[in-house]
Each structure stands twice: as C-alpha cells, then as structure tokens.
C-alpha cells in the first residue's frame, strides 16, 4: 500500500499473532498522573522493572493547579495523584518533570518542544490526545492503563492495526482562519465518529503551509473524529522546528536523522482505505453550539434546524438562531490543543490596545514553562496585562474539571480546548469550542464575536 502509516507501523511490528493483534514496539512512552497508578502497581505486584526506562518520560499535568504551584496542592485527591506519580517515577528510575520544574507542562506540549517526539517514532500515553505528537511525523496514539503496564514492562503493546485515511485540504485559508478552525470544520463534516477505525494522514497545500504549532493543534483533534490518531509527513517545517531541541539529534547524527526523515512520506502510488479532499478556502472561523466537538458551524451561521434537541436544551440554545452577539462569562486559552506560543501571539494580537470585558473571567494558561518563558521574552505578558489579562502557571487547567479551574454551572465559556461534553469544564458548564482568535474576540467584547471584525489590516 506504500503509505507512510504502513512504513512506520510495519517497521515497529515485533510479532504478529495469527488471527489476532500485533506486538508493536514503542519508541516513547509518556506517563501522567491520572492513568498510571494501577500500571505501576501491576509491575510492583509482579516484581518486575521497566524494560527500557530511558524511553519513558513522566510529568503531572491534569491535576496541577495553575496558581501557587510552589505550595502543596490543596485538593487531597489531586495531591495524592501527583505525589504517587513522583514516587513511582523515582522508584522505577524514570525521568520525572515535576511541578515548578522548568521542563514541566502539559505532556503533549512538552514532548515536541523538547525534541522527545521525533519523526518515525511510535509514541503512546494513557491519554487520548497523544495523537498531538503525530504532527512531527510520528505514529502516536492513546492507550489504556493495561497497555501502559505492557509498555512499562516490555516497551511493546498488543494492538490491532488501524485502517488508513488521507485527508487532503487544498487551497489556502482565509483571514482569521486557524488550524483549530480547520479541525472543527473537519469534525463538522465527518462527525465525531466519521474516522472511527482509521489512522489519518493530513496532506494538501493548507497542511503544508501550517506552522508546527498549527499542525500540533490539528493532530491533537484527530481523536475527536473517532480516529485512532493523526499525523503529518515530516518536511522542512518539521526539521526547522526540531533542530537544536534538547533531545533532538545533533551534529552528524542530525544529518543522518534528517536524511532518514526525508524518506518518511507516502508514495505517489499509495493506496488508502479512504481518501477525502476539502477546499480550505471554504473554511471560516468556527464555533461549537452543542455537546460534542462535531456540533460546530461557521461563526456567522445559524444553529442547524436538525440539531440535537437534548444538546440544545443543555446549552439553552434554539435551532435556527445565531450565536453572534450572545453574552459569554468565561474565556479559556490553553490546553494541549491551543496552549503554545503561537496561540498566545494570536490572542495578544486582538487584545493589544483593547480591554478585557468586565463581565468576562479569563484564564490564560501556557502549555508549559517553556511557553511561559517565551511569552515573557516576547513581551506578550505586558500586552496582555495592559488589556487586563493575567497569565497563569502551566497545566491542563480548565480543559477538564480535574483541578481548581472549573466553570460554574450554567455559565458559558469560549474555550480553545478539545472537548465540549456536558460538564467537561465543570458540572453544568456550557462550552463553546473555538480558536484563540475567536476566544480573544469574545474576551474583549463580552459576546460571541467574529474575530475578523477586530483584526487590523496588515
């Protein structure tokens, strides 16, 4: 079939069980505090160690507060989960980046920025948004706790090989349209189950023109279409991003690595199980109106007349109405979807010279301490402070109600995160997924606003 997915997957197969799954070698295992305690306990009960500890990276992110990280975590459950991960990492001799460590952050932000995630790798984590790392040209996907234990013990997992899909996005994106909008558009078109059973390769002129941050956002959201994962063939954008990263190859090793990485592409005669093409010029800034990421629309459109009544009841919206002009209560910039430096640049571009709406509570949360440092180096913190915004400490934050950053019941939040399920950001919260530009527009106006209306002409 000659697809890039086949090349990477097949080169990592150790054995194939007749009429069963394949034993797949894993190059990198990431561990956070939520899905690993039982896996480590399994090793302890069997009296075994990690097979290749140097291939395993641990850091807390879901339960970490985004203020006062230098103090003990107040929530007992969160504190215990974080402490348990540190204890397990120390006991099993694994690399651990704890709170306040300059290398800490959301694991799916830190991996690529430190050069731990590289082209051609197989990468897993007990987290569905592991697909993020596919942006560097890796086969990356989430696994369950029992599989985490397998990977810890053997650096392999048992896995059925997914089917392959290529999504081509051709043309060029219009003003104010970001990678997040592309992803929300794809979810609207394919629904949240439209890619179930597939591993997606993103291609086309729009994808080639995306920055690495944009590619990370796009791959992050693959799982929300039901896909096992998503990735992009490495190219000069990838190489420029990775060069000089802490764990990337250097010197002659770099030259050899790039020579290999340049071979990581689907052949011209590659055959996919499914292939779809979209016109990128038809994509507008997007926003969700319902309770799954596929319930989205262009921000200028009206809620579809056939929208799920139960979802609309939860959101207190009506079929056929527009969202433009609707008051909002919270704005969240961050998550492994949009917590990178490019996202803060975009948000700051609309906040510059304006003021945060008094009615809005805004949480601006970098995806890592490295992003936090870059925000300050570029002076974005000053721009945002002048506009009335405060930058918090890194972590998953309000992406999910597993830490202190919870949206109150009945309140509307324009969020740059990845999921808008009922209660995802707090019991009874109402989430509208959007890009950093759309989030910034809402934050400074207090209402749902087309970001293009605030964008200054270049």
Which pLDDT does position 1 carry in this prediction?
61
Asked whether this chain's domains 4-159 and 286-453 adopt the same fold, the reply is yes
Which pLDDT does position 117 carry in this prediction?
98
322, burial (CB in 10 Å: exposed 0-12, middle 13-18, buried 19+)? middle
Cα–Cα distance between 407 and 264 in angstroms, integer?
43
Sort residue 372 into left (φ over 0), alpha (ψ -120 to 50) or beta: alpha
Q: Please name the CATH architecture into which domain 163-282 falls.
A: 3-Layer(aba) Sandwich (3.40)
Cβ pair 94, 31 in contact under 8 A: yes
Class of domain 286-453 (CATH, top level): alpha beta
Q: What is the distance in angstroms between the CA of the first residue and the CA of the last residue of the chain?
A: 45
Cβ pair 63, 80 in contact under 8 A: no
Cα–Cα distance between 365 and 374 in angstroms, integer?
13
Cα–Cα distance between 400 and 229 in angstroms, integer?
21
The length of the chain is 458
Cα–Cα distance between 367 and 261 in angstroms, integer?
27
- Domain range list for the chain: 4-159, 163-282, 286-453
Span 323-351, pLDDT tens digits: 999 999 999 999 999 999 999 999 999 99
Cβ pair 3, 271 in contact under 8 A: yes
What pairing do the DSSP bridges indicate for beta strands 28-31 and 56-58?
A: parallel
What pairing do the DSSP bridges indicate for beta strands 56-58 and 198-203?
A: unpaired
In three-state form (DSSP H/G/I as H, E/B as E, the rest C), the secondary structure along the chain is CCCHHHHHHHHCEEEECCCCCEEEECCEEEECCCCCHHHHHHHHHHCCCCCCHHHEEECCCCCCCCCCCCCCCCCHHHHHHHHHHHHHHHHCCCEECCCCCCCCECHHHHHHHCCCCCCCCEEEECCHHHHHHHHHCCEEEECCHHHHHHHHHHCEEEECCCEEEEEEEECCCCCCCCHHHHHHHHHHHHCCCCCCCEEEEEECHHHHHCCHHHHHHHHHHHHHHCCCEEECCCCHHHHHHHCCCCCCCCCHHHHHHHHHHCCCCCCCCCCCCEEEEEEHHHCCCEEECCCCCCCEEECCCECCCCCCHHHHHHHCCCCCCECCCCECCEEEECHHHHCCHHHHHHHHHHHCCCCCCCCCEEEECCCEHHHHHHHHHCCHHHHHHHCCCCECCCCCHHHCCCCCCCCCCCCEEEECCCCCCCCCCCCCCEEEECCHHHHHHHHHHCECCCHHHCCCCC
Residue ranges in the chain modelled with pLDDT below 50: 458
Homologous superfamily, domain 4-159: Aconitase, domain 3 (3.30.499.10)
Which pLDDT does position 456 carry in this prediction?
74
Span 352-367, pLDDT tens digits: 999 999 999 999 999 9
Cβ pair 173, 208 in contact under 8 A: no
Cα–Cα distance between 137 and 396 in angstroms, integer?
24
Cβ pair 183, 210 in contact under 8 A: no
Which pLDDT does position 401 carry in this prediction?
87
Cα–Cα distance between 10 and 12 in angstroms, integer?
5
């Amino acid at each position: 079939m000659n697809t890039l997915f086949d090349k990477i997957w097949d080169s990592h197969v150790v054995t194939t069980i007749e009429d069963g799954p394949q034993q797949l070698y894993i190059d990198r295992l990431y561990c956070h505090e939520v899905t690993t305690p039982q896996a480590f306990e399994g090793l302890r009960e069997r009296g075994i160690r990690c097979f290749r500890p140097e291939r395993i990276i641990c850091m807390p992110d879901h339960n970490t507060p985004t203020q006062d990280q230098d103090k003990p975590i107040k929530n007992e459950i969160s504190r215990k989960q974080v402490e348990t991960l540190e204890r397990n990492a120390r006991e099993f001799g694994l690399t651990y980046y704890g709170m306040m460590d300059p290398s800490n952050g959301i694991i799916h932000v830190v991996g690529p920025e430190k050069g731990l995630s590289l082209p051609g790798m197989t990468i897993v984590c007990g987290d569905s948004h592991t697909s993020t790392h596919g942006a560097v040209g890796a086969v990356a996907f989430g696994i369950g706790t029992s599989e985490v234990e397998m990977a810890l013990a053997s650096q392999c997992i048992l896995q059925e090989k997914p089917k392959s899909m290529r999504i081509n996005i051709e043309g060029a994106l219009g003003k104010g349209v970001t990678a997040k909008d592309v992803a929300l558009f794809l979810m609207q078109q394919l629904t949240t189950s439209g890619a179930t059973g597939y591993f997606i390769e993103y291609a086309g002129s729009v994808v080639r023109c995306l920055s690495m941050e944009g590619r990370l956002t796009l791959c992050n959201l693959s799982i929300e279409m039901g896909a096992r994962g998503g990735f992009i063939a490495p190219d000069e954008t990838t190489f420029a991003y990775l060069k000089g990263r802490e764990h990337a190859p250097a010197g002659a090793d770099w030259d050899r690595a790039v020579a290999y990485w340049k071979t990581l592409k689907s052949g011209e005669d590659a055959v996919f199980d499914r292939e779809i093409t979209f016109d990128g010029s038809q994509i507008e800034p997007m926003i969700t109106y319902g309770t799954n990421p596929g319930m989205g629309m262009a921000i200028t459109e009206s809620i579809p007349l056939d929208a799920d009544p139960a979802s609309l009841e939860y959101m207190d919206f009506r079929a056929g109405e527009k969202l433009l002009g609707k008051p909002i209560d919270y704005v969240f910039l961050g998550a492994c979807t949009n917590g990178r430096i490019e996202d803060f640049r975009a948000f700051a571009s609309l906040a510059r010279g304006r003021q945060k709406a008094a009615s809005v509570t805004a949480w601006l949360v970098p995806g890592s301490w490295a992003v936090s440092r870059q925000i300050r180096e570029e002076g974005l913190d000053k721009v945002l402070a002048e506009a009335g915004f405060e930058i918090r400490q890194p972590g998953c934050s309000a992406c999910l109600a597993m830490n202190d950053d919870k949206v109150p019941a009945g309140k509307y939040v324009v969020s740059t995160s990845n999921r808008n399920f009922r209660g995802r950001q707090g019991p009874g919260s109402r989430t509208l997924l959007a890009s950093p530009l759309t989030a910034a527009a809402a934050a400074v106006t207090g209402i749902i606003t087309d970001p293009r209306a605030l964008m200054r002409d270049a």
